[in-house]
Each structure stands twice: as structure tokens, then as C-alpha cells.
Chain A
Amino acid sequence: MSLHTPRRSPVLVTGAAAVLSLSLAACGTGSDTPAGEPETPDDPVELRMTVWTADETQLAQFQEIADAYVEANPELVSGVTFETVPFEDYTTSLTTQLAGGNAPDLGWILESYAPEFVSSGALVDLAPTLQATEEYAYDDLLDSSLALWGEDDALFAYPFSNSPFAVFVNTDQVAAAGAADPAELVASGEWTYDEARDVATAAAAESGGQGLVVRDFEYQVWENLSTVWEGWGAAPWSEDGTQCTFTDPEMVEALTWIHDATFVDGAMPGPGTTADFFAGDAAMTITQISRASSLDGSFAWDVVPLPAGPAGQQNVIGQAGIGVFANADTPQIAADFLAWFTNPENAETLAAYFPPPRESLLTSATLAAANPLLSEEQLQAVVVEGVQGAVTKPAHQNFARLQDTVRAELDALWTADADVEAVLGDVCGAIDPLLAD
């Protein structure tokens, strides 16, 4: 561990903020932060935002929006840098920067870690700045999208991406196997997980590849399985986050289904098997709609909503927020930039990749203009309707420890002869103390 000065205590930070007359406090809930124009610094500042995308088109789009802000506010900002940190280590790298006293001004935050960041005091309240920004249309933001990122009337990160999970289908492989077409099953109201499993099994047997891949799960990122177990109405813990529900009948049934689909039916790849749908390795994949940009036209494809489980069809979205760090040098200016970056005009531009949390922009016509790969019908069925009433992936104030503990316990489930109920009992035994914290 390197030697460095420990981070300032909340008391010291508050004192410094008062001395410097910063209107955005650096700790606590920040709800007492006055809104308004940022104070002009002696010299224009350089802002830095950490992101996990390395997509050059997306980065160029961000830079274009940022450059326009710099041009409009030369007395405030001399430049904005977007720093790519690989997704796998994103949150770890971000907290390392915070520990090293090198906090970025703004950063993307993954939804699973939202409660931890929101309650920590690491982020400033954006609501006063966003609400005070002209033509921002704060009321246009969907309450359901903001739920994870706020506390009372405060908003600690703007959920810039609300990407629904959907099922991408390699229709070439499905047709070759003579299996039912998922789009037709959707139309006839028969698109269920059991049907999806049968299609996947048939396609995998025919192609010699894989059937249905829950993308990025890879027997590590278990929270991605929520896209499946939501069809059973299952959840890992109670809504208030204090009770383990892995042993509830819904979860036992859902994970039994996944276990059997993997080890009995061969519909899903087993542990240690790598399969990339977009490289043609699998017949279907559950992933976010924003991954459509990975399709290169090498096979015919379609995209359909998540199947229905015994509890019905449940849409799931993956969210990403942008927060302003309390320990940044100029959080007020960073918040002002964020208000520009996410205003209605720029949100429409960003909708090409990141479905915005704005009701007025969540129309198939708007999204179609930004997503040439997808038809208006697909966007209506998967994105517009997919965001409505959707739930997010599991999140918790103690998520990092829970993620690791559940991953370790679930490892025992991923063998052919696993006792599902016993393993899930062990999961609850291991995470009960963490949930009680």
C-alpha cells in the first residue's frame, strides 16, 4: 500500500467547503446545498469523468458535447477529459482513485453499487443544480428511473443509461434447427422460459455451439441471472435489504430451472465454457439492448423481450448513473457541466446508445432516429415497453461483500449433482450477517 495522506474527515471537508464558499457541501446528504450558477474560478478548470466505455464513437460523442460546454463557458472550464477504466475493474479502480486523493470530478456508477455510493456521502446532491438549470425539464425525468439514485428529494447521480435486457436471437441457427421462431412465440403469447430453453437446446444440438447465454454471467456475475429469476418473481433479498430470500420457493424454482437447463438440457453453457453470441457461438443471448452495436451482419438476427416465467413477464433494466464527487476540486462546476451534458437536447443525442430517463424521449420514433440497427417495432416492444414497469438488477448498500459472498457460495451449485435447496440454504447462512449489518 502506498503512503499518502488519509482522506480528509467529513468535518474538515465541511469546514474547508465553508471557507472556500463552495455552495455544494462535500459530505452528509448535501440536501442543504444552495443551487445556482457556479462561482467563477480564478482560472478555468479541467474536468475529468471516468467511464467504462472504450467505444470510440461514444467517446467522440461525449467529447463533442463537452467541447460545446467549454465553448459556452470558457471562464469556467478549459477542457473535459473522459477517462476509460475497464468495466471489470471499474468500481475498484474508482475507489482506488478516491483512496489516493485523486477523485475524478464526475464518474459513471454501476446500479448495483448505487445504494452504497448514495448513502456514503461520496457524491453531491445534484437536484438543486439540475432543477435550477434553465430548460432542463427536471420533471420530465421518470421517478422509477431515479428511485435508486435518490434519497428523499436529493438526487446523487443522474441515471443516464436505462438499457433494458432483451433476448437477441441468431435466427439462422434457430431456423437451421427447425425450432420455433421466438418472434412468432412472442406474437402468439407463448414466449416463455420453457419455450426459450427448448429453442436453445435444439439450436445448440444442431449447431454444435451453445444455446442460451446470459451475457457476462460467466458463473461469477450472478446478479445478471436476475434477468431470468424475475420471471419467477424471485429476488435475492427483501426489499428493505435485511432478509435473505434465496431460500424462498420462487428462487429455488428459478435456480433449479437454470441448473437443469445447464446440466440436464444443455440449453445453457456450463462453467468454464466461453461463448460469444455476437461472434456466432450461441443461438440466443440475454443482454442489454445497447449491445446491438456489436452486431456485424454476419448472421441474421432478431431481438425480442425477455420471456415470461411462471410469475409472468418482467422487464429488467440495467442502469448507469453519473455522479459528481464531493472530493472533486470544483464540484459545483462539475454539477453544472452534468446539467449541460444531460439536458433534453444532449439526452436525445446520447439516446443513440443510452436510453434516457426522460419520458418525452422514450418514444420509438425518437429512439429509431438514433438506432438505425433496430426497427421502430423492435424499439417499441423492447425499449419503450421494456423500460416501463421495469425493475433493476439487485443492488444493496453492502453490495460488494454480498456479491463476493454469494458468488463463493453459489459455486457449489454449478455442478451436475448439486443439491439446489441445500446450496441456497448455505447462501442465506453466509449473507444473513451481511444483511443484518
Chain B
Amino acid sequence: MVTSASAVAVAAAEQTGRRRRPRRSAATRRDWLVGYTMVAPQVLGALAFVVAPLVAVFWYSLHEWNVLANTFTFAGADNYERMLADPGLRDSLVASLWFSVGLVALNISLALVLAVLLNQKLPGTTTFRTFFFSPVVVSLVAWTIVWSFLLQADGGINGFLATVGIDGPNWLRGEATAMLSVIVVQVFKNVGLNMILFLAALQAVPVEIQEAARIDGASAWRRFRSMTLPLISPTILLVSILTIVGSLEVFAQIAVLTGGGPGNSTTVLVYYLYQQAFRFNDFGYASSISVLLFVIVLVLTLVQWQTRKRWVFHEV
């Protein structure tokens, strides 16, 4: 409406032969005011809750800050130098890498398989969809606590395995099984969301193209690989970014299931950061780890975004 009013005003000015510039500026100012008023809450919110904390964390990372000792002294790049020589940080990066690789591979492949299955016209798909999506809306901590009971040495999983003659491992006490357990718990928590995203993308693939390919003699696998996958590649990009970023932020599952153990095998980067800040009261060093995490997430997202043209259909 504002735009229409401006146009009418400009036309009227032309008709009367008056100079257009002042009246258009007034309209532009009005548009400017309305536009910025509309985005102000979002901009202010982002400034207060995203930009300001980012700046503050970077500022804190340049300081030695012990809340218990009540010290806050400028340390320059000391915290960053310390990161280079910190074996605990190195171990936590390795643990994060394993967790992310395992989670992304399992989550995306399982979500895609489930979505393809649900895209068939078969009875019971609604129940199946509800079954896999319901964990998404369950409280993360409640979900993890239930799994912590199931994964105990004498818990439900091993109880079930015993009924079929298998002596199950002590899932949360072995280094490999503990990491695997955390990954699987997280996959089942969130696979439903990715499944729904993939399903929506699959249902948007034009039927005509599939039929044309079928008439041309393309096999089901060839149609999926050469037509469906490229057509849903924008969704694959979105899901990849969300899952990778989410995998780097895992915390509650580690805190509840393993506490970072056994050893330090499941001490991922965010859990290590938490330990430094809230257990060891070393907020300056923890802030520098936060900056590192921010850079890692930023770089990964930028790399995915920049490489999208090579494999995302609509970006080609």
C-alpha cells in the first residue's frame, strides 16, 4: 500500500509539473521508516542475543578469568597459545570428529532410507512416521535418562540380548561402545526430523519425470541415483548443514550418559568447554574454546555453502 501511494504521489507531481525529488524523498523516508520498524525487533534481538555475546566471548577469551578467585586480568593471546599445547583439547577434537562422522553418516542415511520407505503407498506408513518422529518432540534429557537405564550392564538392552543368547557388553563403560551408544541415542532422537524433511522433498519430485524415465527403461536404482537424488539435493544440503552443526553442539547426551568417559573417549568439544568453564572455573580459557568452536562451525558451513554448486541441483 505504501508503494502504491508513492506511485500515485509521483504521478500527481509529474502532472502538476512540480519537482519530483522532494516528494519522492518523503515517500522513501516513510518506506524506510516502516521497513526498519518491521525488522527492528529481529535486528535488536540478534544484536542483543547473538552479536553481543559473540563479541563478549571473544573479549573474555583474551582474559584470565577465574570466578571463584574473582580475577579478571588481560592475558592477550595466552589462552589461544595454551590451546595449541593442550592435549585435552586435542583429544576432545578427535572425539568430536568421531561423533560427528558417526552421527552424520548414520543420521542422514537412515533418514533417507526411512523417507524413501514412507514415500511408498503402503499400509501403516502413518504409524511408522509417528513412531520415528515422536522422539523429536520428547525432552532431550528425559530421552537420554531413559536410554541411560537401558544401556546399563544389567539394563534393558542387555536383558533383551540375553533372551536371544547374547552376552551384551557394558555399553557405557567400553570406549568404542560408549561412543557408539551416544551416537545411536542421538540418531534415534533426531532422525525423525530429517526423515520428514526428506519425505517432503521426495514428494515434491515431479511424477512425470519419473514416468518418462521409466518408459525410457531406467531401473529403479538408476532413477533414484540420477533423478531423485539430484532433485532433492537442496534438502540434502540443508539437512547436512543442520546435522553437522548440531553434532558439534552435543552436550546433554554426554553429560547424562557417560560424563565424558570412559577415560576421555566421549569428551567432545562442548563438554570439554563446559568442564573448563563450570567445573574448573576457567572462564577465559573456556571462552577461547568457544571462539574455536564458532570458527569450526563457520568454516564448515561456508565450505558446504561454497561447494553446493558442484552437487546441488538448483545451484548448478
Residue interface bits B43-63, CB-to-A below 8 A is 1, else 0: 000001000110011001001
Contact indicator per residue, chain A 374-406, by CB within 8 Å of chain B (1) or not (0): 000000000000000000000000001100100
Residues of B within 8 A of A327 (CB): 70
- Asked if A120 and B278 sit within 8 Å, CB to CB, the answer is no
Q: Do residues A1 and B65 form an inter-chain contact, with CB atoms below 8 A? A: no
**Complex: how many Å from CA A370 to CA B87?**
52
Contacts of B57 in A (CB 8 A): 1
Within 256-292 of B, Cβ neighbours of A (below 8 Å) are at 259-264, 275, 277-281, 283, 286-287, 290
Shortest C-beta distance, B149 to chain A (Å), equals 9
A292 at interface by CB-CB < 8 Å? no
Do A9 and B279 touch (CB < 8 A)?
no
Asked if residues B70 and A13 are in contact (CB atoms below 8 Å), the reply is: yes
Cβ of A120 and Cβ of B69 under 8 Å apart? yes
Query: Is B25's beta carbon under 8 Å from chain A?
Result: no
CB pair B67–A1 under 8 Å, yes or no, is no
Chain A residues with Cβ below 8 Å from B259 are: 220, 407
Residues of chain B with a CB closer than 8 A to A411's CB: 173, 261-263
List the A side residues contacting B155 at CB < 8 Å.
Answer: 272
Nearest residue, chain A, Cβ from B55: A3
| Number of interface residues, chain A, beta carbon within 8 A | 39
Identity of the chain B residue whose Cβ is nearest the Cβ of A407 in the assembled complex = B261
Q: Please measure, in the bound complex, the distance between the C-alpha atom of A95 and the C-alpha atom of B71, giving whole angstroms.
A: 13
Docked-complex contact A271 and B70, CB < 8 angstroms:
no
For the complex, is A106 an interface residue (Cβ under 8 Å from B)?
Answer: no
A99 touches B67 (CB 8 A): yes
- Is B146's beta carbon under 8 Å from chain A? no
Q: Are A404 and B279 in contact (CB under 8 A)?
A: yes
Q: Mark A70-97, 1 if CB is under 8 A from B, else 0.
A: 0000000000000000000001100110
A274 touches B152 (CB 8 A): yes
- Whether a CB of chain A sits under 8 angstroms from the CB of B172 is yes
| Residues of chain A with a CB closer than 8 A to B53's CB | 1-3
A412, CB-defined interface residue at 8 Å: yes
Confirm or deny: B109 has a beta carbon within 8 angstroms of a beta carbon on chain A.
no
The answer to whether A272 and B279 have CB atoms under 8 Å apart is: no
Residue in contact with B287 in the complex, picked from A1, A8, A407, CB distance below 8 Å: A1
Identify B173's interface contact among A8, A95, A116, A414, CB under 8 A: A414
Residues of B within 8 A of A117 (CB): 68
> From residue 278 to 332 of chain A, which have CB atoms closer than 8 A to chain B?
326-327
Chain A residues whose C-beta falls within 8 Å of the C-beta of B262 in the assembled complex: 408, 411-412
Residue B203 lies at the interface, judged by CB distance under 8 Å to chain A = no
Nearest CB in chain A to that of B91: its residue: A408
In chain B, what residue has the closest Cβ to A411?
B262
Bound-state CA distance A120–B264 (Å) is 28
Q: Is the CB of B173 within 8 A of A272?
A: yes
Contact with B along A91-120 (1 / 0, CB 8 A): 110011011000000000000000011001
Judge whether A412 and B67 touch: CB under 8 Å. no
In the complex, per-residue mask of A1-31: 1 if CB is within 8 Å of any chain B CB, else 0: 1110011111001000000000000010000
Chain B residues positioned under 8 Å from A272 (CB to CB): 152-155, 170-173
Q: Which residues of B contact A10 (CB under 8 A)?
A: 70-71
Closest-by-CB residue of B relative to A8 is: B70
User: Which residue in B68, B172, B275, B290 is a CB contact (below 8 Å) of A95?
Assistant: B68
User: A199 to B90, alpha carbons, bound, how many Å?
Assistant: 46
The residue from A2, A92, A270, A271 contacting B278, defined by CB atoms under 8 A apart: A92
Contacting residue for A408 out of B153, B171, B260, CB 8 A: B260
* CB atoms of A401 and B68 under 8 A apart: no
Q: Does A122 contact B (CB under 8 A)?
A: yes
Q: Does A248 contact B (CB under 8 A)?
A: no
**CA–CA, A221 to B246, complex, Å?**
30
Q: Which residues of A contact B60 (CB under 8 A)?
A: 1, 6
Q: Are B170 and A271 in contact (CB under 8 A)?
A: yes
Given the known A-B contacts A3-B53, A272-B152, A401-B280, are A326 and B173 also in contact in the complex, defined by CB atoms under 8 Å? no
Q: From the candidates A1, A6, A95, name the one contacting B72 in the complex (CB within 8 A).
A: A6
- Does A409 interact with chain B (Cβ within 8 Å)? yes
Q: CA–CA, A99 to B67, complex, Å?
A: 5
Give Cα A131 to B27, complex, Å. Answer: 77
Chain B residue at minimal CB-CB distance from A98: B67
Beta-carbon contact of A400 and B287 below 8 Å: no
**Contacts A1-B287, A404-B279; A98 near B68 (Cβ below 8 A):** yes
Whether A271 and B68, one on each chain, are in contact in the complex, defined by CB atoms closer than 8 angstroms, is: no
Taking the closest CB of chain B, its distance from the CB of A75, in whole angstroms, is 30
Q: Are A273 and B152 in contact (CB under 8 A)?
A: yes
Given the interface pairs A272-B173, A326-B70, A407-B261, the reply to whether A3 lies near B281 with Cβ below 8 Å is: no
How far, in whole Å, are A99 and B66 apart by their CA atoms in the complex?
9
The chain A residue with its CB closest to the CB of B178 is A411
Cβ–Cβ contact B70 & A7, under 8 A: yes
A122 lies within 8 A of B68 (CB): yes
Chain A residue at minimum C-beta to C-beta distance from B69: A120
For residue A120, which residues in chain B have a CB less than 8 angstroms away from its CB?
66, 68-70
Tell me whether A6 and B65 are in contact in the complex, defined as CB-CB below 8 angstroms, given that A404-B275, A414-B173 are known contacts. Answer: yes
Question: What's the Cα separation between A2 and B55 when bound, in Å?
Answer: 11
Known A-B contacts: A10-B71, A220-B261, A271-B170. Give 12 more (CB < 8 A). Answer: A1-B290, A3-B56, A6-B63, A92-B278, A95-B67, A120-B69, A121-B70, A272-B152, A404-B260, A404-B279, A408-B261, A412-B263
Closest 6 CB pairs of A and B: A272-B153, A411-B262, A99-B67, A120-B68, A120-B69, A3-B56
Task: Report A's interface with B, CB cutoff 8 A.
Answer: 1-3, 6-10, 13, 27, 91-92, 95-96, 98-99, 116-117, 120-122, 219-220, 270-274, 326-327, 400-401, 404, 407-409, 411-412, 414
Residues of B within 8 A of A (CB): 48, 52-53, 56-57, 60, 63, 65-72, 152-155, 170-173, 259-264, 275, 277-281, 283, 286-287, 290
Cross-chain pairs A/B with CB under 8 angstroms, 27 sampled: A1-B53, A2-B53, A3-B48, A3-B56, A6-B60, A7-B65, A7-B67, A7-B72, A91-B279, A95-B67, A96-B278, A116-B68, A117-B68, A120-B70, A122-B70, A271-B153, A271-B170, A271-B173, A272-B173, A273-B153, A400-B281, A404-B260, A408-B261, A408-B262, A411-B261, A411-B262, A414-B173
